[in-house]
Amino acid sequence: MKAVMVQEFGAPETLVVVDLPDPTPAAGHVLITTEAIGVGGLDALIRSGALTAYGSTPGGILGSEVVGTVAEVGEGVDVAWVGQRVWGFTGVSGGYTERALAAAETLVPIPTGLSAVDAVTLGSSAMVAHFALRHAHFARGESVLVRGAAGGIGVMAVQLAARGGAGAVAVTTSSAERGERLRKLGATHVLDRSGLGAENAPAGYNVIIDIVAGADLPSFFDRLAPNGRMVAVGAMAGMPKADFAEPMIAAFQKSLSFATFSADTVPFSERQAATAELFAAASRGELKAVVHEVLPLDQVVLAHQKMESGEVFGRIALTSSGS
């Protein structure tokens, strides 16, 4: 089978397509013949070497989510899964391949009418956005700001906040064109990257969902309303400075809150249930999978180059013949 390996940490060109033996599912796992493979910001961070402190090493296969057909099951897994089209979570690696392994407890059947590309585009992005809003205790009528809204998690957070009855959904983005696209997904106010620039935007937000982090994160504490909650779900601009919380402490009387969120803290059973409902909503036309481009597996370098350039709106998906 063909797979994409991180030959060494660095630029997209360090990714290589290799031939490997088909894997065999261990107990509790399944083998999926992949149709579509999700490409995400985590993949780019791993490839760059930014996550070596968390155990990333060269020689691994990128990718955390796939959609395809279950070809084989390991010990203890119901054989009824064989032949089913599913979304599967491969962990932090192992997805960029024609045949991927996934734990059976992560599998979510694909509803009729939802394409493999749309399912993998929604996948973890929609699930993370869903639970991030829950982690922020978002309630109907509250105002939400999504920082870095043009990426996979961001576009889903915008849609889910609007669907959840937010009083306002503001976004930060890099261009007016992207802002208009986000308005079509439910944004009510388009801000510049500093969180300013829109007339009649709320003076403060009840919830900020931050996918960017980086050195500018502290400035967004000023954008929170009293009792406001900021939840960081990514760090695409890198880690904030060690003293990033000083502005929040300085605004002590506003009772502000900051939290991080990782889906690793959510039991797989809850992730499965939420993802199944999000897939069902998409199949009913209530949510939109925002696909920037679909590329074959052997054009993975181009996919990562596009992510590096900052041109991606939504997500890129890779496709595999599985042969």
Secondary structure element (H or E) that encloses residue 47, with its range? helix 41-48
Q: Give the integer Cα–Cα distance in Å for 253 and 315.
A: 40
**Average pLDDT for residues 85-89, to the nearest whole number?**
97
The model carries a pTM of 0.94
Asked if pLDDT for residue 323 goes beyond 70, the answer is no
Q: How far is CA 316 from the centre of its chain?
A: 11
Asked if pLDDT for residue 106 goes beyond 60, the answer is yes
Closest CA to 130 of 239, 255, 291, 279: 279
Write the CA distances from 144 to 52, 169, 186, 236, integer angstroms. Answer: 33, 5, 11, 20
Express each pLDDT in 283-317 by its tens digit. Answer: 999 999 999 999 999 999 999 999 998 889 999 99
Q: Report the phi/psi class of residue 162: left, alpha or beta, with left for phi > 0 and alpha for psi in -120 to 50.
A: alpha
**Average pLDDT for residues 138-154, to the nearest whole number?**
97
Write the CA distances from 87 to 65, 81, 114, 177, integer angstroms. Answer: 7, 12, 11, 32
Q: State the pLDDT at residue 232.
A: 97
The fraction of the chain above a pLDDT of 70, given in percent, is: 99
Q: Could you give the 3-state DSSP secondary structure of residue 103?
A: strand
Tokens of 15: 């990714």
**Average pLDDT for residues 203-229, to the nearest whole number?**
96
Express each pLDDT in 20-49 by its tens digit. Answer: 999 999 999 999 999 999 999 889 889 988
Mean pLDDT of the chain: 94
How long is the chain? Answer: 323
Asked if pLDDT for residue 88 goes beyond 50, the answer is yes
- What phi and psi values does residue 114 have, to the nearest 5 degrees? -105, 120
Instruction: For residue 322, name the pLDDT band (cuts at 50, 70, 90).
Output: low
Type of residue found at 273: A
